[in-house]
Structure 1
Amino acid sequence: MITNGLATKPHYPVLDGLRGVAAILVVVFHICEAHATSHIDQVINHGYLAVDFFFLLSGFVMGYAYDDRWHKLTIGSFFKRRLIRLQPMVVMGMLVGAVCFYFSGSAAFPLIHTVLVWKLLLVMLIGCTLIPIPISMDIRGWQEMHPLDGPGWSLFFEYVVNILYALGLRKLSKTALSILVIIAGGVLIHYAVTSKTGDVIGGWSLNEEQLRIGCTRVLFPFFGGLLLSRITRPVERKHAFLISSVLLIIVLAMPRIGGFEHLWMNGLYDSLSIILLFPLIVYVGAGGRQSGQPSKLCKWLGDLSYPLYITHYPFIYIYTGWVSNHKGIAVTEALPNALLTFAGTILVGYAALKWYDEPVRAWLTKKSK
């Protein structure tokens, strides 16, 4: 039985809304990324930090939802709940990626049409389990652990920290958890300021360097969020969604800092955003008690966020391929196609939510009782 008599706790509506705002910014970031010549000139330049924000938000919500329930909750039932929440859309993301795969054939992905269907289907089936594929099985050329749906890498690390939490780290005292978070924060700062690229981008390949980046990116924000849920009691405030949304947009849209000459400056911005600004934004958002239209907007954004995040990237592959075939095309010139891609990702994400994710999760929840 999955629930074990656990009552559903009320959500933090503003945090749901923030998750949706971040997901939408990720889509815009990825569309604009196709036109960038380097990390320096990207629009929504720090949009990649949305992943780190998701990790911190996940840790905070995990502590709120489960920390006081383990006297009624087994490890098995916890894993069932997480699988029901996350895995259906993982499968959908891989299916969408497989359907879109050959449409992304282009100058950016010149070998797409040499990939045999059996290999595509094999990669899709492995992807549905979220088990990373080795670089030798890459079918796109970007060395991704999930070449049909790139963002799957972050879900892989989400599962890793969920497992660590359930198997023992949930038992850490506040002091022990604080020490872990301080160490993880120090590792994050060190990596970011010494990075060859001057940022925390990475984590999507199954090799030593990328696995290090992925672990560095997930450990502080997830367990920092968990610690935040244990040591703070949000203070109710008006306009929490507006304030926290604006702060999040500013952090993610901040232009590159330091240029090529001072890469460490941008690395410091990345790490301090994750360590200081994101906890502040979550704390402010957690104090929101929205009602009426703002609450409906937050719910809509929160419901859409995960399906949008996990299904949008196959369309980004196609858009990136189109841009690569029109070398040098500016965002303004490509605006009709960019808007079509953006609208398409929203529609597919919402359709996946209503016609697949919600019904499947409801069915699985019923069957697990």
Structure 2
Amino acid sequence: MEKPAPEILQTKQHFEILDGLRGVAALAVVTFHFMEMAYSDYSKNFIGHGFLAVDFFFCLSGFVIGYAYDDRIAKIGVLEFFKSRLIRLHPQVILGSILGLFAFLFDPFGGHPELYSAGKILLVFICSVFMVPFPVVTDRAFNLFSFNAPAWSLFWEYVANIVYAFVLCRLNRQFLLLLTVISAVGLCFVGYRTGNLMGGWGGPNFWDGCARISFSFLAGLLIYRSNWIIKNKLGFIGLTILLALAFVMPFTKWNWLTESFVVLFYFPLLIALGAGAVLTNGLKKLCVFSGKISYPLYMTHYAAIWMFGNYYASHKPGTGQLTLIIITGIILLVGVAYLIMEGFDIPVRKYLTERRKKTLES
């Protein structure tokens, strides 16, 4: 008879609608990045607030980390918690860095790798693999991680996980509420100062990312610990529509206020509703698939985005052709993410988990 998995390796039942919404948010990010390359004026971008999906990810992460680890991190220990998070997250960090490096060196539509020495390119790659911010590549708009731009949010996710393991897991709800309120003020300040909540991804706006992760992660954790779960019958489709509305809302002169409202109140409400919504059997497989593919899609799509950006700059396709390219690109990237999930992510994580299990049992 097979031994039960050690408590460290045991997982809890998922909130499947929240998993599904994570996939919707990942699709919004990919669509936003395509559109961003073509329309630098976000008021002309139909999904101009798609970047707010990252704040939704952060809030969802706080909720899920609290749910998964609050009652057992003291038993498994900080080191094993970090191992669990690295096995879950880091294989895609490495793969995204490799794909980004290839796109940088062999982009058929442009780019200037010849302007950078081999040593500098290697250093940028190593920093990307080990999640060390290094915003030095001009061609990549001084992204924190030049070969895989979305990794900036993973950097802050790692920071939040470290703070959770050493501090937040021990805080009572009152202190957590106080920190959440303080971080809300900080987020509003960032929005007012910059006019939006888009920062965190590059050298010049590095600390904006701290404000974004601080509030949303704490808010998600607070929702879980306060049991602010709202029973409802909106279902996956209803909540998908509500989530999408945040990404397609129009730009106004009060942009920083509307974005702050969405992050401070609307996204936490959606998390509470998603945790309490009823999932119909017919959509269960879709939600599970959406949740599984969300992270591979998010972490591997940007190599194609850089190439698309260079193609658009050099070829200037018309609206009809542009629409076809973007729709086809999104479909292809979802397909690639599925292959990566099945051929790389799941096998690698399974292998690492089995190695860890044997170590724990020995």
Q: What is the TM-score normalised by the length of structure 2?
A: 0.92
Correspondent of 2:327 among 324, 339, 342: 339
1:221–1:274 Cα contact (<8 Å) kept = yes
> 1:359: Cα distance to partner?
0.4
Structure 2 residue 304 is matched with structure 1 residue 309: no
**Equivalent-residue separation in structure 1 for 2:271 and 2:301 (angstroms):** 25
CA distance in structure 2 between the partners assigned to 1:234 and 1:161 by the alignment: 23
Q: Which digits, 9 at most, give the CA deviation of each residue in 1:316-353, with x for residues without a partner?
A: 000011111134x4443322322332122112211111
Match of 1:227 among 222, 240, 247: 222
The question of 1:15 aligning with 2:15 is answered no
Deviation at 1:43, TM superposition (A): 2.2
Is the 2:100–2:147 contact (alpha carbons within 8 Å) kept by the matching residues of 1? yes
Mapping for residues 202-213 of structure 1, pairs under 5 Å = 202-206=199-203, 209-213=204-208
- Counterpart CA distance in 2 for 1:228 and 1:47 is 23
Match of 2:129 in 1: 128
Name the stretch that deviates more: 15-24 or 229-238: 229-238
Unmatched tracts of structure 1, length 5 or more: 259-264
SS in 2 for 1:368: helix
Q: Cα offset for 1:30?
A: 0.9
Number of residue pairs matched?
353
Question: What SS does structure 1 have at the residue aligned with 2:19?
Answer: helix
Show the counterpart of 2:360. Answer: none
Which of residues 275, 278, 298 is equivalent to 2:264?
A: 275
Deviation at 1:186, TM superposition (A): 0.9
Which residue of structure 2 lines up, in the alignment, with residue 41 of structure 1?
44
Query: Which moved further from structure 2: 236-245 or 271-280?
Result: 236-245
Query: Is 1:115 aligned to residue 129 of structure 2?
Result: no
CA distance 1:280–1:233, change in 2 (3 Å): closer
The superposition leaves residues 343-367 of structure 1 with CA deviations (integer Å, 9 ceiling, x where unpaired) of 2211221111100000000111111
CA distance in 1, matches of 2:41, 2:341: 34
The whole-number CA distance in structure 1 between the counterparts of 2:216 and 2:324 is 36
- Whether 2:103 is the aligned partner of 1:100: answer yes
Matched residue SS, 1:332: helix
Structure 2 unaligned residues grouped into runs of 5+: 358-362
> Tell me, what secondary structure is at the counterpart of 2:321?
coil
* Aligned equivalent of 2:28: 25
Q: 326, 330, 353: which one pairs with 1:365?
A: 353
Q: Secondary structure at the match of 2:39?
A: coil
CA shift digits 1:3-48 (9 cap, x unpaired): 5456421000000000000000111111111111423222201001
Larger displacement relative to structure 2 (219-228 or 337-346): 337-346
> Secondary structure at 1:315's aligned position in 2?
helix
- Structure 1 residue 252 and structure 2 residue 247: aligned? yes
1:320 partner letter: G
Structure 2 Cα separation of the partners of residues 3 and 269 of structure 1: 46
1:238 aligns with 2:218: no
- Answer whether contact 1:17 1:241 (CA < 8 A) is retained: yes
Percent identical residues: 37
C-alpha displacement of 1:225: 0.5
Query: What is the root-mean-square deviation in Å for CA atoms of aligned residues?
Result: 1.9
Q: Distance in 2 between matches of 1:284 and 1:23?
A: 19
Matches within 5 A, 1:67-216: 67-104=70-107, 109=111, 111-135=112-136, 138=137, 140-195=139-194, 198-206=195-203, 209-216=204-211
Output one character per residue of 1:180-215: Cα deviation in whole Å (capped at 9) or x when no partner: 0001001111221232xx211121224xx4222111
Runs of 4 or more consecutive aligned structure 1 residues displaced over 6 Å after TM superposition: none
Name the structure 2 match of 1:352.
Answer: 340
CA contact (8 A) 1:240 1:287 kept: no
Query: Structure 1 360/37 Cα, relative in aligned 2: closer, same or farther at 3 Å?
Result: closer
Partners of 1:311 and 1:5 lie apart in 2 by 28
Provide the TM-score with structure 1 as the length reference.
0.91
